[in-house]
Amino acid sequence: MTHSALPTQLVWFRDDLRTSDHPALNAALSSGPVIAVYVLDQESAGIRPLGGAAKWWLHLALADLRISLGQLKIPLILRQGPAAGIISELVHEGSVQAVHWNRRYGHAERAVDMQIKQDLHARGVHAHSYSGTLLHEPWELLTKNDTGYKVFTPFYNALRDDEIRPPLPAPQAQEPLPDTNLPASDELESLGLLPALDWIDGLAAQWGPGEAPARQRLEQVLESIAEGYADHHDRPDLDGTSALSPAMRWGHLSAPEMWDALGRLAAENPKAAAGATAMRRQLAWRDFCWHLYYHHPQLPERNLRAQFDHFDWAWPEQDPHAADQVRLWQKGRTGFGLVDAGMQQLWQTGWMHNRVRMVAASLLVKNLQVHWKVGERWFWDTLVDADLASNSANWQWVAGSGADASPYFRVFNPELQAKKFDPQGSYVARYAPLAAEPIVDLKQSRQAALDAYEQMKLIS
């Protein structure tokens, strides 16, 4: 075991794989020599293991982070296992004086962080946490009754622009640390993040995970996409949205930085003001999902409206017919072009347009009456932007079981949605050129869903 000569500052990277606007990194750099760590923790109690597409993204994002940190002369150490043990080892191996991290908001993750903070304090090591991921800390924005918000619009109205922290100045490179004293790092390949499946070719063709590609895309959004966003954001056939959700999920870009950039665009370019404001509103939805999850830690597992516990959902494990239908839905062979194109887009690229996510989810939970958790798990495994808060809050929104959910009787008609939002059929032609036989009658299944809802109300 080696010991660093100098007391060091350890920055623990988690969902914030970037060097710009990184409060923990900036604070550490102003305190002394810095080393950085990423811990792949799939074992601590309650932490949901990453899905396949997310692991692929993470592999490339860590390679990119190592380069960005290298430019600042900061070594990145990779480790795998329960975070508490690893942080404790590193504190010893690296003569660490203080550990810095940007906060996470999941229930299990917070429990891990709290335990580590206590352990560090007990050993006389400082632990500093910062707000680096959201526009607002979920406990700061409260209703008059001091509770979390359950409805988006009042939450959004309460988000005060002047209370969102401005982005930080770019960090300066530090003096290089002597290599001999550094704690050892695992090889990136040894983390086993790359899947053996062939779908990574499609993901690689679509995305460049990391900070620089995210920043380039933001520039493009500000230059040419924001202006049309208010009109085009529901059109999957156009490149009309930011497509920055994976960059936000992995923290290649901070929410305050994107918020700030959109605000400046709105102020400087009146033609882009409506679009930039509309995009800010979507960014606020991301915060709202984390806000809900923070205040309702059961969000990924349980209906927020307990009434829905009495809904007669189908589960593929218990019902062979539902199992067949779920398989066809996953493969994009439902016979509804927009849904099939979306599910193919998801499989091929790890991403799906928001409008299509809503329509595909509605078909599963309403027309097929399959539990939203079945869809949430599939998205979790296949989305490169999968995050527990946005995924479960949006699934519960579509299912009607969420706090601020779409009314149950709002059953999307995939054929009408296709006419409206893919008017030339080019999105469907691109991802689902071969039409399949519809697996369900839209009218009958809509009525059956409404009947099941009435039934649920009678017994709940």
Q: How many CB atoms are located within 10 Å of the residue 445 CB?
A: 18
Which residue among 24, 365, 383, 411 contacts ligand FAD (CB under 6 A)?
383
The answer to whether residue 16 forms part of the interface with ligand FAD (CB under 6 A) is: no
Residue 54 CA to residue 194 CA, distance in Å, equals 10
- # residues near ligand FAD by CB under 6 A: 29
CA distances from 221 to 225, 229, 402, 440 (A): 5, 9, 31, 39
Give CB contacts under 8 A, 24+ apart, made by 176-181: 176/73, 177/4, 177/6, 177/8, 177/33, 177/35, 177/73, 177/75, 178/5, 180/2, 181/2, 181/3, 181/4, 181/5, 181/6
The answer to whether residue 358 forms part of the interface with ligand FAD (CB under 6 A) is: yes
Per-residue contact string for residues 362-381; x = within reach of ligand FAD by CB under 6 A: -----------------x--
Per-residue contact string for residues 24-53; x = within reach of ligand FAD by CB under 6 A: ------------------------------
The answer to whether residue 245 forms part of the interface with ligand FAD (CB under 6 A) is: yes
List of residues 6+ apart from 118 with CB closer than 8 A = none
The answer to whether residue 133 forms part of the interface with ligand FAD (CB under 6 A) is: no
Region 387-416 residues binding ligand FAD, contact defined as CB under 6 A: 387, 390-391, 394-395, 398
Q: Which is nearer to ligand FAD, 233 or 296 (CB)?
A: 233
Give the SS3 label for residue 208: coil
Q: How many CB atoms are located within 10 Å of the residue 153 CB?
A: 11
Q: Of 393, 384, 332, which is closest to residue 59 (Cα–Cα)?
A: 384
Residue 174 CA to residue 412 CA, distance in Å, equals 54
Per-residue contact string for residues 224-243; x = within reach of ligand FAD by CB under 6 A: ---------x-------xxx
Per-residue contact string for residues 318-357; x = within reach of ligand FAD by CB under 6 A: -----------------------------------xx--x
Residue 81 CA to residue 85 CA, distance in Å, equals 8
Q: Which is nearer to ligand FAD, 9 or 313 (CB)?
A: 313
The answer to whether residue 262 forms part of the interface with ligand FAD (CB under 6 A) is: no
Which residue among 159, 164, 374, 386 contacts ligand FAD (CB under 6 A)?
386
Residues that bind ligand FAD (CB under 6 A): 233, 241-245, 248-249, 279, 282-283, 285-286, 289, 353-354, 357-358, 361, 379, 383, 385-387, 390-391, 394-395, 398
